[in-house]
Each structure stands twice: as structure tokens, then as C-alpha cells.
Amino acid sequence: MTSPGFDPLVIAISSRALFDLADSHAVYEQEGLAAYQQYQIEHEDEPLLPGVAFHLVEKLLNLNQLVDGAPVEVILLSRNSADTGLRVFNSIEHYHLNITRAAFCGGDSPYRYISAFNSHLFLSTDGADVRQALELGVAAATILPSVKGNTNEQILKIAFDGDAVLFSDESEKIFKNKGLEAFTKNERDSANQPLAGGPFKPFLHALQQLQRAFPSGESPIRTCLVTARAAPAHERVVRTLRAWDIRIDESLFLGGLSKGEFLQAFDADVFFDDQQGHCESARHHVATGHVPHGVANR
């Protein structure tokens, strides 16, 4: 396909989300920085095993084989120094991942480079870095230890929670403070008033632009909204997405049911949710990112 004519979708990812660095991190925690540096140098020619977000990154980068102009770029952000990070880049080369840009921060947090790279999404195993990214206005999630089979299906499937992820937490605040009845009444009364955007709205918009580069029915990307909402609170969600001119491929209004098995049925490559309880359920079925945003995380 020809170039899509829009800016690339930029994903920033930490080295510990991309690769399994458990062994070397244990050396750091037990023996200190000097031992960690020596360990990485001694093993720099041994490829790291894939981490929890590895297959997601693979699928994202594979989209560049389908559209001219490289519409997806993955940036590596790491607390390693360039010296100890050589093992990470060697592993990138081993797996033939087209990742060429990186920031190695020598022990400091790399979050300050997220906006400089024009990132739409930041994935990390470090919750503090994720919170900093969210404060910068960038969609970000803490990738949790998760179960995810590496299926052969080529379609990239991304699932989102609604309130405090795609949408603001304005309605969730009413639910937390006043209960379900007040929440339902507010959503019914406000059905024609679009919700404000949450931290993942810009990422979903960029993803939608990429979907539209493909003919109708041929996109290798599918999105799914998985929300605890139920009727009649569904109407405001539908009208909000319509007002944003964003189309979600599948929408699950679960009315409080556990999300894990539904995400497994959708076969999500990753699921983003603001509530720890939902993430705990989901991570046993699919790769899961906790979004520490909104009233549920205060």
C-alpha cells in the first residue's frame, strides 16, 4: 500500500517491558550496580528472552510491511547506560526488530524523553515512570506480569477500558462518591453530552488513522471497548465516540462481569484498564497494562 499521509504512530517502550530482564535485575538488587554492569557486559552476546510486551511490539512493527512509509515507530527508553544497554540492542538485532532510536539514561528515569520523541504511548514496568508520562499528557501503562500465548494470527487486537482510560473519570467520580443509582441517572440525563477525553484518546485516534489507511474490512488492526458499564449507561459512550469520529470495532458492555474471559475470547494482544482489580483478572488471560490515572488511583 502507498504511504498513508499522516505522522507515524510512535510507541515508546522500556527495555524491561520489551525483554525479560529478571535475571539481570536480580543481580542489580542483590549485588548492586557494579555487579549488574559486569553481568550485562559478560552476557552481552546472549540474546535476552522476550518480555511481556515483545509480541505486541512485533505485531506493531509488522504493520510497516503492509503500508509504505513506515507508519509505526518503536522507541526504546532505558535506565541502562549505552554500555550496559549494548545487550539490549544486540537482542533487538537478534530478533530482527526494526528499532533504531533509543535513549539510555544511565540510571535516571527516561520519561522526560517521551514527549521529545512525539510518543503516542509509553509502556514500562516502572509505575513511577508511567505516572510521570501520564502527567505529561501521554498515554501510558504499567505492563504487568501476564499470560499471553503467542498466536499465529496476524491481526493486532487492542482492548481498552472506558472511564479514566479512553474517557475522563468524570462519571467514575460520581459512581465512586454517590453510587450506581446516581451514576446511572447522570449518564441517562447526559446521554447527548459527549464525555471528555481520557489519557488514551489521542492514542486511539492515532490508531484509527492507521486503520483507515486500509480498505474497509481489510485492516489488520481491531479495537475493542471492554467496560463495566451496562444499559442505559451505554448510550453516552456510543454518542461520545460518534462525536469524536472514532469507530471501535467491538464493544462489550459487561455490567460488572469479570473482564478476563471476554478479553481471552477477543484474543487481545494487550488490554488497558485503570482499576487494579480488573487488571488482576485480565492479566491471567491476556497481556495487561495498568493505567494509574483517575479517581480509582488516588
d(C-alpha 288, C-alpha 128), whole Å: 17
> What is the chain's mean pLDDT, rounded?
91
pLDDT digits (tens, 9 = 90+) for 59-102: 999 999 988 887 999 999 998 888 888 999 999 999 999 999 99
Sign of the C-alpha dihedral, residues 286, 292, 294, 297?
A: positive
Instruction: Give the chain's domains with CATH numbers.
Output: 9-143 (3.40.50.1000), 156-293 (3.40.50.1000)
Contacts of 7 (CB under 8 A, 6+ apart): 118, 206
Q: Is the pLDDT of residue 7 over 90?
A: no
d(C-alpha 163, C-alpha 171), whole Å: 7
Q: What is the pTM of this model?
A: 0.92
What is the mean pLDDT of the segment spanning 42-68?
Answer: 92
pLDDT above 70 coverage of the chain, percent: 97
Angle (nearest 5°) at CA 176 between 174 and 178: 55
What is the mean pLDDT of the segment spanning 41-62?
Answer: 93
d(C-alpha 11, C-alpha 128), whole Å: 18
Residue 2 is predicted with a pLDDT of: 47
Which amino acid, 249?
D
d(C-alpha 279, C-alpha 212), whole Å: 30
Residue 5 is predicted with a pLDDT of: 63
Q: Is the pLDDT of residue 235 over 70?
A: yes
Active centre residues (catalytic): 161
Query: Which segment, 18-22, 146-150, 286-290, 293-297, is predicted with the most confidence on average?
Result: 286-290
What is the mean pLDDT of the segment spanning 232-252?
Answer: 94
Q: Is the pLDDT of residue 46 over 60?
A: yes
pLDDT digits (tens, 9 = 90+) for 152-164: 578 999 999 999 9
Catalogue the E-assigned strands of the chain: 9-14, 19-20, 49-50, 72-78, 101-104, 121-124, 139-143, 156-160, 221-227, 250-253, 270-273, 288-290
| CB contact at 8 A, 289 and 123 | yes
Q: Is the pLDDT of residue 147 over 80?
A: no
Q: State the cell numbers at 100.
A: 533504531
Residue 177 vs residue 141, higher pLDDT: 141
72 phi, psi to nearest 5 deg: -125, 135
Q: Which helix (H) or strand (E) holds 241?
A: helix 234-244
